[in-house]
Structure 1
Amino acid sequence: MSENKFGLVYAGALEENVPGGVELRPISFNNFDGVKIAANLYLPSNFDASQSLPAIVVAHPNGGVKEQVSGLFAQRLAEKGFVTLAFDAAYQGASAGEPRQTDRPSNRVEDIRASIDYLETFKGVDTNRIGALGICGGGGYTIQVSKTDKRIKAVGTISMFNSGRVRRNGFGDSQLATIPDRMAQAAAAREKYAKTGEVDYIGDLLTHRTEFTKEQLEQIPAGLYRDGVEYYGDTHFHPNSQSRYTAMSLMDLMAFDAENNVDLIDQPLLMMVGDVSDTRYMTEAVFNKATGTDDKKLILIKGASHIETYWVPEYVDQEVTAMNDFFSAKL
């Protein structure tokens, strides 16, 4: 990161803006709640404001930031001719908002809508050709927004993560018996914050860069969480990226479910997930319930786990090709 002037940590990241090439513009805007959102706007080669180009909002994973995988896909799609915008969620990354790492679905939904607002005012964007791409948790929130915001003309997800279902039921629906315990935890955290201003956090692994030994990593169940510690804590570390979220966020998260009313999506829909990913069940559940559109496609990336869809060149190339074909046709 320290070697990249934009702070980007993904492979093949822009090092500088070169005339005639893809351009990255750090920008900011306020959402409807008045929270300042930090974002990176990627413009395709030889961008001209007199053009009328398609645009795509890219939403990052839970705990991620715009300098990681969402920036990677924003850049790669800009290379294909789209105006793209990767942003940090409110209360997270370089965006404003207190308490830090608040993770309320309503905030994440508003961030995507506010990003569309920005693109609609940006000269060179065709407001009738705006799409949305969400990765991991950002995929679940992109699904949520697309149910009712029909400014989004095409919807894409990669390794979609249904945050509400997992926070409520546990990963793989393995903690149904302890739902009341998590509700009690959220209530206690809210009460503590109201009385003292102190914030309780869950999943506080990456407050500082973490170097796990092989033995320590093996104590984490194989799959999403172990791979995530390596991705966020080591290979694609960024100090603004945090694994934790406020315990009182559970009050909102546990009542959220990307699967609810997903039949309201009537736009073209492309969902991609690794065929061996332990989160595959979430993508398939949403895809199967998305009965409001006949123009939908599910692509299984052979051999890919959840985190591998973020960075493994072979998988990223497949995803970029599929998303480019999809958005080029549908926008």
Structure 2
Amino acid sequence: MKGIKFLVTAFTASLLMDASAQTNQKTVSQNPFGLVYGGALTENVKGQVSIHPVRYQLHGIEIVANVYTPANYDPSKKYPTLVVAHPNGGVKEQVAGLYAQRLAENGFITITADAAYQGGSGGSPRYVDKPANRIEDIYAMADFMSQYQGVDTAKLGLLGICGGGGYSLKAAQADKRFKAVATLSMFNSGQVRRNGFMNSQTATIQQRLAKASQARAIEAAGGKTQYALTSTAPLTDEQIAKLPFELYREGSIYYGKTHAHPNSSGNYTLSSLMDLMSWDASTNSDLINQPLLMIAGSKADTKYMTDEVFSQAVNAKSKELFLLDGATHIETYWKPAYVDQAVKKLATFYQSNL
């Protein structure tokens, strides 16, 4: 049980486990684009939705991304465009890609990129996870798409999923290129890193900050980078069943089994906690003046985070909280009935506001 308790503490800071090369070979994608979500594209067919792997530089770091173009895409025309930010520990080939593809099916150009230091993108040390970086990733996707053929820069929208939702809210506070912002199963990374999930770790805030500070000192002295997870071996079914929160149990299955990807990792550098624990997605929510749509599962144990931010976004041009009845947090990532509802709502929202 001691090992399980340690893992639970580490997973409180992210979605859960390292879905690395040690994952079950049956779950490794055979998709030519590396996509692991249901209904993923396997080839580009003329006249249909297509995927375009791209690379660009962000402050000297190579970013890998996928751009999805709608059916009968004509680069001489102008299309509303959406930037999609992935969850903590996630990659573009998982849920972010699913929603990017489905929204392209509704006539949008979309992009989703692996965050710097994570996934297939560059950056060293690996798994640096700082809010400022994730927000800069979002700005950079907008920069890149502003130069992409067919993009209508006057009709640029933003979608953030899970941790990407919290970062998208912060990006929208400052970047008014985004004319409409939506979140799906928003996760307030800073709040959870600081207080623990459902405020389960408030008694250890100062101790964890001290460890993060020590980890930075070691790095500054040229020592070995310290990580939150000292073991990245997948959890057993028995260990998963003993995890205390539904988010962690279902997330372990999603990231480690059913939708595992070799570039996806829930690990992060301990020094990142210095930035994460002093950050909060809900601060300055009054700066959001764009139309706002927040989607969450009615049964999600993360819903309290969406509720908090939604209530504080007092200056949004319009705002709506849309609940997927019966859905948990992770089910909004893959379950067809919930994905269909969310995509329909998102498409209508962006069509009305872009």
Q: TM-score, normalised by structure 1?
A: 0.97
Once the two structures are TM-superposed, the CA of residue 309 in structure 1 deviates from its matched residue by: 0.6
Select which of 20, 34, 37 maps to 2:60: 34
Once the two structures are TM-superposed, the CA of residue 193 in structure 1 deviates from its matched residue by: 1.6
Report matched runs for 1:134-283 at 5 Å.
134-203=160-229, 207=232, 210=234, 212-213=236-237, 215-283=238-306
Once the two structures are TM-superposed, the CA of residue 246 in structure 1 deviates from its matched residue by: 0.6
**What residue number does 1:290 align with?**
313
Once the two structures are TM-superposed, the CA of residue 294 in structure 1 deviates from its matched residue by: 4.2
User: Quick one: higher RCO (CA 8 Å, sep 6+), 1 or 2?
Assistant: 2
Residue identity opposite 2:174 in structure 1 = T
Deviations 1:145-188 (A, max 9, x none): 00010000000100000000110111112222211011011011
What are structure 1's unaligned runs of at least 5 residues?
none
Mapped pair 1:54 → 2:80: yes
Once the two structures are TM-superposed, the CA of residue 211 in structure 1 deviates from its matched residue by: 5.8
Residue identity opposite 1:222 in structure 2 = F
**What residue number does 2:16 align with?**
none
Whether contact under 8 Å (1:204, 1:242) holds in the other structure is no
Deviations 1:44-84 (A, max 9, x none): 01111111100000000000000000000000000100000
What are structure 2's unaligned runs of at least 5 residues?
1-27
Residue identity opposite 1:291 in structure 2 = V
**What residue number does 1:120 align with?**
146
Whether contact under 8 Å (2:29, 2:261) holds in the other structure is no
Once the two structures are TM-superposed, the CA of residue 222 in structure 1 deviates from its matched residue by: 3.5
**What residue number does 1:129 align with?**
155
Once the two structures are TM-superposed, the CA of residue 2 in structure 1 deviates from its matched residue by: 3.6
What SS does the aligned partner of 1:189 have? helix
What SS does the aligned partner of 1:146 have? helix
**What residue number does 1:299 align with?**
322
Q: How far, CA to CA, are the matches of 1:203 and 1:227 in structure 2?
A: 19
Whether contact under 8 Å (2:159, 2:168) holds in the other structure is yes
**What residue number does 1:5 align with?**
32
Q: How far, CA to CA, are the matches of 2:309 and 2:31 in structure 1?
A: 37
Deviations 1:76-103 (A, max 9, x none): 0001000000110000000000110100
Aligned sequence identity (%): 55
**What residue number does 2:24 align with?**
none
**What residue number does 2:340 align with?**
317
Q: Give the CA RMSD over aligned residues.
A: 1.1
What SS does the aligned partner of 1:63 have? coil
* Structure 2 CA distance for partners of 1:217 and 1:254, relative to 1, 3 Å: same
Q: TM-score, normalised by structure 2?
A: 0.90
Whether contact under 8 Å (1:211, 1:234) holds in the other structure is no
Select which of 116, 130, 135 maps to 1:104: 130
Q: How far, CA to CA, are the matches of 2:29 and 2:317 in structure 1?
A: 46
What SS does the aligned partner of 2:180 have? strand
